[in-house]
Amino acid sequence: MQVPLKLDTVTNGGSQYLKFWYNGGYDYIKSPILPYCYSKQVPPSNAKVTEVDKTLLYDNEYSGTLYKVEFGNEYDLRESVGNEGYFETRIPLKNRVFTSMPELLEKYANTDDVKLLKFDIETDSYLTFPNPKENAIIAIGIQLNDEAIEIKMAESHDDDFELLWWFIHKIKDLDPDVYVQYNGNFFDWPYIFERCRQNRISITEFSRDKSEPFVKEVLVQGKKDHNEIYFGGRSNYDIYIRSVLKDQYLFKASPKNKQMKKIAKLYKLDNIIEEPPEVMSNMRSIVNTEQLYNYLYSDMRCTTHLANIYFPAIVGMAEQVKITLDDCINASPSLLPESLFSREFGNRDIVSDATVGEAYPELAENKQGALVGCYQPGLYKYGIRKLDVQSYYPNLIRTLNLCPTTTRIYDVREEMEEFNAQMTDDNFLYLSIPDNKMEKQIIIEIDFNKRGFTSQFVDENMEARLEMKKKLKELSPSDPEYALLDVNQLNLKVIMNSVTGYFGMKYAKFGSIACYIAITGTGRYLIQKLIDYVDSCIALDTDGIVVNSNETVEEVNEWMSKHVTECLQVPRNYIILEEETYKSAYFRDGSKQYLMIEENKDGEDELVIHGISLKGSNLPQLYSNIIEKVGFKMLTTDDDLTQYIEPFYDTKQWSLNDIKKNTKVRPPDEYKTGSPIGKQLALQYEERFGSPITNETKMGYVKIRTKHGSQYRLVTILDKIDDYPELDIDYYKNTVDNALERLSLAHLIPGKKGQQASLFNF
C-alpha cells in the first residue's frame, strides 16, 4: 500500500504525538504539526498565535486580521475554545495530517503485504436466537490471506474456553493487520467479547498493543445504524457494513436481507453449503461433527471470496483519497469528500468559517431535491425502455464547472419564475432556479474563467471509470477479473457521488449549498425537458425516465447535447443518456414503486422489486412470496393468474415460515405495562420450557384468534402448522388480499371480483 495501516493521535505529558502503524509495527513520533484552528480575535494565552493571510469561505469580504491558533495538544484545543469566534475547531489532528502532510503517509506506508485474517464463528443454539451469555461458541474458522482454511470445533455445546484460547493464540502467531468477517460488527465480535468475559479471558489479547477493544455505536439521524469495532494496532473490516451495503449493483440484484451466501452466489461462488432452518435453530445437534466442519468451511469460502472482491477496492480508495486504510474502512460518508475539500482549501488559503447549515440555514433545511413520480401506472407486458443519464450529478458538476471556489449564491428572490440560464461576456454563468419547496427563486453565479477543483476531480475519476466499464464489456461475467473490475468502477462512482452529497450536507465544513442547488435545480430542469421531448413518459426517477416511445437513444442524446449547450450556454456537454431495456414492467401510482423483468448477466429473466409498498418488510413472508411469484408470472406470461393465486388462499399449503414473524424478546419483568407481543412470547417460552428468558433474544410468533380476541403464539423449530388450529386465518388471508391489491389484482381476489378494474383497463 501507499498509505499506513492506521494512525493514532496521542497526548503524552502535554505534548502531541503521532503513532503510525505499518508493516507489523509502529513508529511513535512527536507531531510535526500541532492541533490548530483560526480566529478573528486574539486567542487564549496557552496558544501559539500567528497572523495569517487567508480568506474566509463565506465571509470573503472580511479584511481584518485573521489568526492561526495552535495548541500543544488536542485536549487543550477542545478545552480552550468554543465555536464562537473560532473556525475549524472540530477538525481532528489526524485529518490535518491527511490533508497537509502527504509525505508522512508515504514515509509510514504499509509496504508489506497486508495480512488479512478472515474468520467466522458458529454458536450453540436451541429454539431461539443464540445469546452470548448462555450459548457458547461451538466452532471457529480462520484463514490468513490465501493460506489454508483452519477449523477448530468445541467438544461440547456449553464449553468454549479452549476454543477461545486457540483463537487468541492463532492471532498471536499470525499477527494479522486486519480482521475480516461478514456482519461481524453486529454479531461475531460482540459475541466473542461476551464469551471471553463469561470465561474470564481478557479481550486485550485481540489488540496488537494490548489495549481494550471497544464497540462504538454509529448513529444516523439520532438512531443506531451500525457498530464499529476498534482494536489497538489493527483494523477491522466488516464486509457487510463497509462494502455490501454500499455496493450499488446489489441494490437491484440482491435479496432484501443480503445474506452472505446469497451475495457470494451473485458473485459466482459455487458449492455453497446451506442447512435447513431446523438445523440452524438447533446447532447443538451438530456439535463436533463433520457436518458442522463442512458448513463452517463453506462459510469461510464465502468470506474469502467476497473479501478478495471488495478489499482491493478499499485499498485503492485509501490511496486515492490519501488517508490510512483504517480510516477508509471506517469512513463516514463525509470523510472522503471532506479530506479532498480540506486539502484543496488549504492549498488555496481558504478557511471554513461556517458549516453549510450555519451559513444558509433556510436553504440547508428546506432545499428542493430531485423529481420522482409515476405518470402512467399500469402493466407493460411487451417491453419498455429506461433512458438513464450516465452519472447524472457528477456529470452536472463537470458540465457546470461546479466547485466551492467557482460557485456562489448570488441572490434569493421572493418572486418565482421558470428556470433560465445566462452566460455573460466575461464568462460568468447565472442560473435562475425555482425552488418550489421554499417558493423562492435562487440565483447561482458560476465563474467559468477558472477550473473548479471538484469539477477537475470528477472529470479525472469519470474518465478512469469509463475505461473500466469499457474493459468490462470485453470480459465475461464469469471471468475472475470481472467482479474485481466491476467493484472498482462502482468504487469510483461512490467517491464521486459522495462529493455531490457533501455539497448539501448541513454539517459540512467545506460544503457548498450553491453547488448543491445548481446540481439539483439544473437536474430537475433537464429531466422535465427530457419528459417534454419524448412525450411518452411512464415514470421518472432522479436520473432518468421510463418511456414507451420510439425515439432512439442516439436521437435523444443529439437533442440533449444541443439543448444543454444552447440553453445553459456552457462550452461542453457531459450529459449523456444510455438505454436500458426491460422485458416487462408494472408501475404503481406514486414514486419508485415498481416491478421489472430484466435479463441478468447469465441471460436469465430476473424480477427487480422496488419500493417499500412492494417489499413488505414488516409483513409475513407470505406477502413477499405473492409479490415475487405472482408478480413474476404477471410480467412473464399470458396465463390466467387465478391458477397461481388460488394456492395462496389454501391454508393447507401454508408453512410456519410463510406466516410467522420474528421479534426481539426481553425478560418479562423488563416490560413495564400492558401485554406487548414480546412479553406474551417470553411468558409462553418460560411456561413451555421451564427456563427463564434472561437476555434479549429473537423469537418467532404467529397471530391467533381466541374468544378474547387477537393474541400471539410462540413458534419454535419443534412446531408444525397443525399445532396452531386457532390461527387468525382472516388476518393471513387479508395479507394475501393486500399483496394482490398492491399488484393491482384485487379483481382476482375471491369474493371481490369487479371491485377493481383490471390492469389492462388502465
28: three-class secondary structure by DSSP = strand
Inter-helix orientation angle 513-534/392-400, to 10°: 110
User: Predicted confidence band at 757 (pLDDT cuts at 50, 70, 90)?
Assistant: very low
Q: Which residues are registered as beta bridge partners of 374?
A: 539
Q: What angle do CA 453, 458, 463 make, to 5 degrees?
A: 130
**In the block, residue with C-alpha cell 468554543:** 82
pLDDT band at 759 (very low <50, low <70, confident <90, very high): very low
Question: Contact, 740 vs 630, CB < 8 A?
Answer: yes
Q: Residue 667 carries which DSSP code?
A: -
How many other CB atoms sit within 10 Å of the CB of residue 52? 13
| Calpha distance 564→569 (Å, rounded) | 7
Whose CA is closest to 123, among 115, 134, 135, 112? 135
Lowest mean pLDDT among 53-57, 93-97, 244-248, 267-271: 244-248
- In the 8-state DSSP scheme, what is residue 284? G
pLDDT of amino acid 221: 60
Q: Which residues contact 687 (CB under 8 A, 6 or more apart)?
A: none
The per-residue pLDDT for range 565-575, each reduced to its tens digit, is 999 999 999 99
Provide the percentage of residues in the chain whose pLDDT is more than 90.
58
pLDDT beyond 50 at 754: no
DSSP 29: E
- The residue-averaged pLDDT of 306-310 equals 91
Q: Is the pLDDT of residue 224 over 70?
A: no
| Model confidence band, residue 253 (pLDDT cutoffs 50, 70, 90) | low
Taking the domains of the chain in order of start, what are their residue ranges? 6-107, 116-321, 354-587, 639-762
Residues 126-162 have pLDDT tens digits of: 877 788 988 999 999 999 999 999 999 999 999 999 9
482 versus 622: the higher-pLDDT residue is 622
Average pLDDT (466-489) is: 82
Q: What is the mean pLDDT of the chain?
A: 89
C-alpha cell at 573: 456537454
User: What CATH number belongs to 354-587?
Assistant: 3.90.1600.10
Residue 758 has pLDDT above 60, yes or no: no
Nearest to 444 by CA among 479, 415, 419, 407: 407
- When mean pLDDT is compared across 178-187, 474-483, 613-622, the lowest value belongs to 474-483
Q: What's the CATH class of domain 6-107?
A: alpha beta
The arrangement of strands across the sheet holding 440-447 comes to 407-413, 440-447, 428-435, 420-423
The string of pLDDT tens digits covering residues 12-63 is: 999 999 999 999 999 999 999 999 999 988 776 788 999 999 999 888 788 8
At 673-717, the pLDDT tens digits run 778 899 999 999 888 888 788 777 888 899 998 877 778 999 987
The single residue listed with the C-alpha cell 391467533 is: 704
**What does the alpha-carbon distance between residue 406 and residue 429 come to, in Å, rounded to a whole number?**
10
Please give the pLDDT value at position 223. Answer: 66
Q: Is the pLDDT of residue 518 over 50?
A: yes
Bigger pLDDT: 43 vs 94:
94
Q: pLDDT tens digits, residue range 546-584? A: 998 888 999 999 999 999 999 999 999 999 999 988 999
Is the confidence at residue 743, as pLDDT, over 90? yes
Residue 760's pLDDT band (cuts 50, 70, 90): very low
What is the model's pLDDT at position 38?
Answer: 93
How is residue 133 written as a grid cell? 451469555
Contact 199, 144 (CB under 8 A): no
Q: What is the DSSP string of 552-616?
A: -HHHHHHHHHHHHHHHS--S-----EEEEEESEEEE-SSSS-EEEEEE-TTS-EEEEEESHHHH-
pLDDT band at 448 (very low <50, low <70, confident <90, very high): very high
Which one, of 311, 323, 314, 316, lies nearest residue 108 by Cα? Answer: 323
Query: Does residue 753 carry a pLDDT above 70?
Result: no
Q: Which CATH architecture group holds 639-762? A: Orthogonal Bundle (1.10)
3-state secondary structure of 753: coil
CATH of 116-321, one of 3.30.420.40, 3.40.50.720, 3.30.420.10, 3.40.50.1820: 3.30.420.10
The 10 Å Cβ neighbour count of residue 457 is 21
| Pairwise CA distance, residues 326 & 233, whole Å | 10
626-653 confidence digits (pLDDT tens):
999 999 999 999 999 999 999 999 999 9
First to last CA, the chain: 58
What value, to the nearest 5°, has the Cα angle with vertex 616 and ends 612 and 620?
Answer: 170
CB 250 within 8 A of CB 263: yes
Split at pLDDT 50, 70, 90, the class of 254 is low
